[in-house]
Amino acid sequence: MTAALALLCLAVPAPHALHDWFSRPPVPNRLLVVPFEGDAQRGMLLESLAGLAAAHCNEHGPGTLVWEDLDHADYRRWRDELVAAHGVESTRTTLEGALRDLCAKGVVDGYLLYRYDSGDRALFTPGECDESANVATALAGVLGGVVVSEDLEPLAKDCGLRLFLDCRGMTEEQCLDEYGGRFSTLGVGTADPKTRNARSLMIANKLFVSSGRGPAYERSIGRCGPDSPVIGWGIGGEDEQTIASSRKGLFQTATNWCHNLTVLSTERPGEEVPWERLAAREPGESARAPEKGKHYVCLTLTDGDNIQWLMGNFIGGSEGRWYYGNPRRGSVPFTWGLPVPGLLQLSPRTLTDVLATATPNDDFVMYSGGGYFYPDLYGTDRAEDCLALHTRRLRPVMERTGIRVLAFSFQDWDSDAALKACSTMARELPGLLGILAFQYYPYSAGEGRTVFVDGADGDRVPVVSCRYTVWAKTGRERDTTPGNVAEALGGLPVVGEQATEDCFSWVLVHAWSRFRKPGPGVAPDDEDDVPQEAESANTSRGYDPALWTARRLPPHVTPVTATEFLRLIRAGLAPGA
């Protein structure tokens, strides 16, 4: 090596190694492909079988995994690509056939019996419930048995399985009291006992499983190590679950409707999936100052760190046409919030799909930097600096993907705790362009204010609050229709001799709000006067309302991507600019 080449190698350090938050099995030699199970009890049996197969491969190396064949084009394509890329043998069978197959291989030889919660309580809502399905799921990982309901016990016996434990009547707290020392401390699972999804990943990682409420939940998250994941989703309010986990230094993953995680997570970035397929297109550098007479707006759509949505109805499925599968995508500069670290670990092929089909007008921000938590609360109940640890683990993600913008939900976006959190993230992430900040309630509490925090190497990093949201029927002044948001933006200040923070607007587009298509006789105030619970004629949600907003902006209001937006802010507002 020449001296010049040696100096070059020293000047450009290699990216840091990607952190794995939980164990994943190796790419399988063989897949047992079984039909989709819409029945929750059969689905739990299937999930537990898939989890035990993955746990066996974790311990013994490549072997047989279980794939549930959904009627979903994206899931099937990811499976087919994986099978073709690695020469995986694929065998179609039934759930009963897969159970017998894995019994014969010694992967399964027993079962845990539970009583299915058949009450009339709505999914994920508080109320009385039978927790024995969660107890059985938790113990499946440590005892090595499948999860079997009373109705399916004859099937288990017919396969020659022996009863490991009757979990009926056992509560989550009792399970934690008796078996707590046998569960992993690298995370926790949460699930409504009525639901079946994502239990395979919990079992493969030997996680305790809680309904996400009460003393068992508090104890389970308190026993985990700092910066650990919560797999699935539990019962009760979104903020209640997330405040509790944030304080303990854990992050939510919103994976409760995901399928086939134990298979899709086997391919590792940089190994089975090349890094070049996982690098976002880097938007062109912008050294220009904000243009006089302009107001700049960044329109962004995200549902936070919602991995299940990205894997399901974001690209395709039954609703992809509203979002990333919208045929009009790319019409204007636009930004999408992605759960990048979660996808890198759980389904890197999903992320490659998104990035490969990006248009020059599509930009991306890393939502929550790797999970749903509130930075101003993260780890406040612990001695460790959980946020610094989490952010250091994000550094290789930013280095490899080139996504240099974070977006976060805060409980109090400009509190001392929030600004301290932003400073921590800015210092730990050299090259971070900025942080887009919104408050849990209301999103637009910051009204567009921008503050700067100290970053790495003397950098000053902008933290930009949400000014408006395209959001239907909330009754809040800054949550309104596409027409009203466009009109409000048109009346805001423009760049003069100098730029001010009022010349820049970050606007969030609520993913689930429906609006009427603009047209003659449709007043802006009436655009959200449509059913919100179901699709109706001449309505849309997602990308279309954002496009309707952009197309009604006056000429002096310029839509830009998040990357361009933050570069313009840095050029026009940064101290010393």
pLDDT category of residue 168 using cuts at 50, 70 and 90: very high
pLDDT of residue 370: 76
| 284: DSSP letter | P
Strands (E), 185-249: 188-190, 209-210, 228-232
**CA–CA separation, 296 and 569 (whole Å):** 9
**271 in Cβ contact with 90 (< 8 Å):** no
Q: Give the residue range(s) of CATH 3.20.20.490 domains in the chain.
A: 284-573
**CA–CA separation, 219 and 227 (whole Å):** 16
**CA–CA separation, 44 and 199 (whole Å):** 7
Q: Tell which phi-psi region holds residue 373, choosing left (phi > 0), alpha (psi between -120 and 50) or beta.
A: beta
* Over residues 55-61, mean pLDDT: 96
pLDDT 10s digits, 344-403? 999 999 999 999 999 999 999 998 877 899 999 999 999 999 999 999 999 999 999 999
Q: Which residue in 119, 105, 108 sits closest to 141, CA to CA? A: 108
**44 in Cβ contact with 313 (< 8 Å):** no
**CA–CA separation, 155 and 526 (whole Å):** 56
**350 in Cβ contact with 311 (< 8 Å):** yes
**CA–CA separation, 387 and 391 (whole Å):** 6
Helix (H, G, I), strand (E, B) or coil at 219: helix
Helix (H, G, I), strand (E, B) or coil at 129: coil
| pLDDT of 286 above 70 | no
* Mean pLDDT score of the chain: 94
For residue 372, the cross-strand partners are 252
| Burial grade of 34 (CB within 10 A; 0-12, 13-18, 19 or more) | buried
**49 in Cβ contact with 102 (< 8 Å):** yes
Q: Which residue in 298, 280, 561 sits closest to 398, CA to CA? A: 280
pLDDT 10s digits, 72-124? 999 999 999 999 999 999 999 999 999 999 999 999 999 999 999 999 999 99
Six token digits for residue 551: 């197309």
Six token digits for residue 429: 């992430």
Cβ atoms within 10 Å, residue 354: 19
pLDDT of residue 433: 96
| pLDDT of 282 above 70 | no
Distances 303 to 250, 439, 482 between C-alpha atoms, Å:
19, 14, 18
pLDDT of residue 368: 80
- State the residue for tokens 């790419």: 27
pLDDT of residue 495: 98
Six token digits for residue 564: 């361009």
3 versus 531: the higher-pLDDT residue is 531
| β-pair type (89-92, 30-35) | parallel
| pLDDT of 9 above 60 | no
Q: Which residue in 442, 413, 440 sits closest to 242, CA to CA? A: 440
* Over residues 286-303, mean pLDDT: 91
Which residues are CB-contacts of 253 (< 8 A; sequence separation ≥ 6)?
A: 229, 230, 231, 232, 305, 307, 339, 342, 346, 371, 372
Q: What percent of the chain is helix, strand and coil (3-state, nearest 5)?
A: 35, 20, 45
Residue type, 248: K
Helix (H, G, I), strand (E, B) or coil at 131: coil
For residue 465, the cross-strand partners are 437
126-131 own/partner pairs: CB under 8 Å, 24+ apart: 126/213, 126/235, 126/236, 129/192, 129/193, 129/194, 129/211, 129/235, 130/193, 131/170, 131/171, 131/172, 131/193, 131/211
**CA–CA separation, 274 and 501 (whole Å):** 40
| pLDDT of 4 above 60 | no
Domain covering 284-573: architecture: Alpha-Beta Barrel (3.20)
* Over residues 439-463, mean pLDDT: 96
pLDDT 10s digits, 476-528? 999 999 999 999 999 999 999 999 999 999 999 999 999 999 999 899 999 99
**CA–CA separation, 68 and 345 (whole Å):** 19
| pLDDT of 283 above 80 | no
pLDDT 10s digits, 106-119? 999 999 999 999 99
Q: What is the pTM of this model?
A: 0.94
Helix (H, G, I), strand (E, B) or coil at 308: helix
| pLDDT of 12 above 60 | no
**CA–CA separation, 204 and 140 (whole Å):** 9
| pLDDT of 2 above 90 | no
Helical ranges in 357-506 per DSSP H = 386-401, 416-428, 482-490
- State the residue for tokens 């009373």: 150
**CA–CA separation, 234 and 137 (whole Å):** 14
Q: Which residue in 17, 564, 113 sits closest to 294, CA to CA? A: 564
* Over residues 235-262, mean pLDDT: 96
221: enclosing H helix or E strand = helix 214-222
Q: Which residue in 205, 211, 240 sits closest to 225, CA to CA? A: 205
* Over residues 10-27, mean pLDDT: 76
